[in-house]
Each structure stands twice: as structure tokens, then as C-alpha cells.
Amino acid sequence: MPASRRGSGTITLPTGVTLNYHTRTNEEEDLPHATKKTMADHLRKFESLFTLTPQRMRMIVDAFTESLEIGLESSGQVVPMIPTFVFGWPSGHESGEYLALDLGGTNLRVCLVTLHGGGKFEITQSKYRLTEEQKHDDGQKLFDFCADCVKTFINSNLGDSEEMIKSGVKLPLGFTFSYPCSQERIDHGVLIRWTKGFSAPNTEGCDVAAMFREALEAQNVPVDLVALTCDTTGTLIASTYVNPKTKIAVIFGTGCNAAYMETIKEIPKLKGCGFADDTEIAINCEWGAFDSFQHEHLPRTKYDITVDESSNKPGEQAFEKLISGRYLGEILRLVICDLIDEGVLFLGQNTYKIEIPYSFDTAFLSLMESDPTDELLMIIGIFTHFFALETTLAERQFFRALAKLIGKRSARLSACGIAAIVNRKSLLEDGCSVGADGSLYNKYPGFADRVHEGLQDIFGDKGLNIVTHHAEDGSGIGSAIIAAMTKKRKETGLYPNY
């Protein structure tokens, strides 16, 4: 312990805990701040930690492409490459009224979709925000809540559900359940693992379609669960319904994932199921799991490792944890906390608010990057309003630059995933459209441009042939189209047991 505690410094206690202190007299008016030069030095360090060179990206793409292949060979692989039993593309003529239930990362949505054919549709929907409690409470309760929401929606939009049950009317429904499920047929799905912070017990290893059906029956909801699908598969189908050039769908939101169409003869693990060799089937890659457990290919910083180890699923969703909206704010917060611990930032200020895990929303990164003012007033607002912290211009410039590094890395890694599917399907020469959705893709400034830049770094000029575009609502419209395709397929007797 120093004789005088005037000024600022760091003390390590015998327990190993580090304390930062700052003592001032009433003669000093200003709080101490890091100098411009200190912030510039730190920025250089983070630049080298978070920057992905084209060469490194190509190495990731090679490993990724191999993982996709391994996933198609046999079940239970790290990237599970799940056959979804959505056979082929929509014709665009699908029509009729369908319900869609969307259980994503943040909300529960019930939709009534009227497909008019010719790529036209109408949608009416209700949204319910999921509470943190519901994400961790017993799984059957979650599905009971889903059934309850569907029933309320039917009663207020379509008529008395009890009357429908009496007269034997059942409305076809597509259930978009955006968590990895292994499927034996389209109306079945065993949850492999929860992602995106969910942990509802008694659900992993169970057939979630059966759990939802049980809830529907118990509450007399006049619904026929036709298809269980995931947001990416829905996005693939919804995008091609309106833009037939779409060959890949990706979601960059709370979680991240991709889907594309594969031919049966290229899927060794489906040999012997009796499907014709040239039949096409949509694959839900569940690529968020790439490099999980072994951590051999992705460059993880110590902040990424902390995010992983302090999550409710350590080791899992390694790719997703570097990319998706659930984690980017947390990564930046951990860097800031590290600099607080080192005595670089916010000396003499009370930092307890920013020390709360997940208190730094990824939306703040978007706002910081898009702050149009010279003084970076938006960043002043974020730090004073949400964290009661004062910042200097040099610090704000540093935070903005840091957000850019983290956001850019996310987009460039996303490009690696897309490139792996492009390789797998040899789409580079002819090019293709990639339907993309999710809060990061839609709201993070420059995200799509950075993905495109990344694709050029990987493929050179030919990377320009791969273009992402904002996709149609896969979890609502896509789910309804999949329900329509499935009903028709079964009516025509094609693979009726799947």
C-alpha cells in the first residue's frame, strides 16, 4: 500500500484481487481521463486482436467447408447439417390460409398468412415479448404459453376456437422453432441444445413438436401442426417465393445460422431412406456451432473466452458467440471493464453499472458507429444516461473505433460462413443471391457492405458475384409456405411418412 493515496493507481490485495483507486482534493475539478495517446496505443493493440486478414479468412473458410461436409456424412456432428424434410423450392403458386407460430430469441409471434400465389401474400400478426423467466422455466410451460397465445389469436382474428373444435375444423400451422433440432420427419424435432441464452429444463433431448401438440390438445386449440421449421429454412423458402435467384439464406440476429438446398445423393447420412437421388432437400446448417468444443479454427480473444465460459452453455455455439447480436455488446463491455481494471478508464468514477454482465446492448454499438456528430454526442448520451459515466472525446473516439472492430469482425466471419456454402455448392462462377435477415443484418450500419467486402477478400473479384439482400419474413411467411408445400406434398403422396 503506498504511503500516500493521493492520485491514481492500482493495488493488488493479498487475495489477488486488484483495486483501482483515485484520490483527489477539492482543489482539483476535473476527473482524470486517459490521454489521447494512451487511447491510441490501446486501440492499436485491439486492432491486431480483432482484425481478420484475408489469409486467415481463407483458412477459416477451408475448415468451415470441411465441417459442412462432415455434418452431411453422419448424424451428431459439431455442425449438424440437419435435413429439414422441406423437399425442393416453392413453386410460387402456393395458396391458402395458414397460421405460423414463431418462437425466436426475443419474441413469440403468431401470424395468419394468406398466400395468394404468384409470390403475393398478406399477413396479420400478434407479438408477445418473452420474459427472462419463461426462457428458464420448465419447457412444457413454454409450449403451454405458445398454445395459449395461438388460441387467443384465433379467437380474436378467426372466430370461436371451441366452435371450430366441435365442428372438426383444424387450421394448418407451421411452427418456426429457431433452435437446433434433429428431425426424422417434418412435423418432428428433438431439441439438440438450447441456444441464445435459453435453458428451459426438460426440453433438450425431447421432441418439441410433440410437446407443443400436447399443449394444443390440452387447451382445445383447433390447430394441425403441419411442419416444424427454423427461421433460416423459412427465410430460404420465403426469399425464393419472391426472388427465385436466392440459393442461400442467413440469419444474423440474436443468433446466427444458414440454410441452403442440397441434393439427396450428396447427403450420405440419408442413404437408404428411399428418396430419389436427385431430390432436393433444404439443409438447416446450424452453423452457429462451427468450431465448438475444440476451438481449433476461430481466433478467440480473451474476451471471447470469458463470454463463452461465463455463458450458460460453455464450449457451445463458438461461431455464434463471435458474431451474433446477443454477444457483441458483451464483448465490448468486457474490453471496457478490462481497461477499467488496468486503471486506464474512468478513474474516480463509479463504474458499477457498466460492470453488470450484458448491460451493454449490441444496439449501442450500432448507435456508436452511426453517431454523426463531431463531438460524438450519441456516445456521450449512452455513457451518461445508461452508465452514469463521463467521457472525453478521445475516449469516445476509442469506443467508436472499438465498436467498429467488433462489428467488422462479426461481418467478416459471417462472410466466411457464406463462402463455405458457396464453395460447397460451387456457386462462385454463376453467382447467387443470399437472402439475409435478423437485427444485425437489418440494423447494424454497414454490416452488409462489410460482408460483401469480406467475400471479395476471400474470393477476389469473383466475390462480387455473391450478393446478400434483405429477405422476406421467413419465420412468418416462410413457415406458412412450408406448411402449404408440405400439405400438398403429402396429398400427392410424395414421401407421405416424412
The residues that touch ligand BGC, with contacts defined as CB under 6 A, are 104-105, 178-180, 195-196, 230-232, 251, 253, 255-257, 286, 288, 320
Query: What are the phi and psi torsion angles at 92 (to 5°)?
Result: 90, -10
Of 256 and 337, CB closest to ligand BGC: 256
HSE-CB at 16 with a 13 A cutoff on CA atoms is 0
The Cα–Cα gap between 19 and 110 comes to 50
Of 173 and 208, CB closest to ligand BGC: 208
SS3 86: strand
Residues β-bridged to residue 190: 182, 207
Of 245 and 313, CB closest to ligand BGC: 313
- Torsion 131-135-136-138 (CA) sign: positive
The active-site residue, picked from 102, 144, 207, 231, is 231
Specify the DSSP class assigned to residue 32. P
The Cα–Cα gap between 117 and 119 comes to 5
Distance of CA 469 to the CA centre of its chain: 17
430 is catalytic: no
The active-site residue, picked from 67, 178, 414, 475, is 178
CB-based contacts of 155, cutoff 8 Å, min separation 6 = 161
Which of 146, 155, 139, 135 is closest to 110 using CA atoms? 146
The Cα–Cα gap between 21 and 268 comes to 62
Q: Could you give the C-alpha distances from 458 to 63, 255, 286, 454, 461, in angstroms and in order?
A: 13, 23, 22, 6, 9
Residue 283 Cβ vs ligand BGC, minimum distance, rounded to whole Å: 12
Of 105 and 172, CB closest to ligand BGC: 105
Of 107 and 384, CB closest to ligand BGC: 107
End-to-end CA distance of the chain: 71
102 is catalytic: no
Of 82 and 334, CB closest to ligand BGC: 82
Residue type, 248: I
Residue 479 Cβ vs ligand BGC, minimum distance, rounded to whole Å: 13
The active-site residue, picked from 144, 161, 187, 193, is 193
SS3 135: helix
Residue 244 Cβ vs ligand BGC, minimum distance, rounded to whole Å: 23
Of 241 and 327, CB closest to ligand BGC: 327
Report whether 334 contacts 311 (CB < 8 A). no
Residue 31 Cβ vs ligand BGC, minimum distance, rounded to whole Å: 41
The Cα–Cα gap between 206 and 202 comes to 7
Helix (H) or strand (E) holding 227: strand 223-229
Residue 197 Cβ vs ligand BGC, minimum distance, rounded to whole Å: 9
Report whether 52 contacts 413 (CB < 8 A). yes
Of 314 and 460, CB closest to ligand BGC: 314
Distance of CA 297 to the CA centre of its chain: 20
SS3 383: helix
The Cα–Cα gap between 108 and 131 comes to 10
The Cα–Cα gap between 261 and 245 comes to 13
Mode of pairing for the β-strands spanning 246-252 and 256-263: antiparallel
Of 20 and 235, CB closest to ligand BGC: 235
Q: Could you give the C-alpha distances from 420 to 197, 240, 292, 428, in angstroms and in order?
A: 27, 21, 17, 11
Which of 345, 341, 333 is closest to 303 using CA atoms? 333
The Cα–Cα gap between 435 and 456 comes to 18
Which residues are identified as catalytic? 178, 193, 231
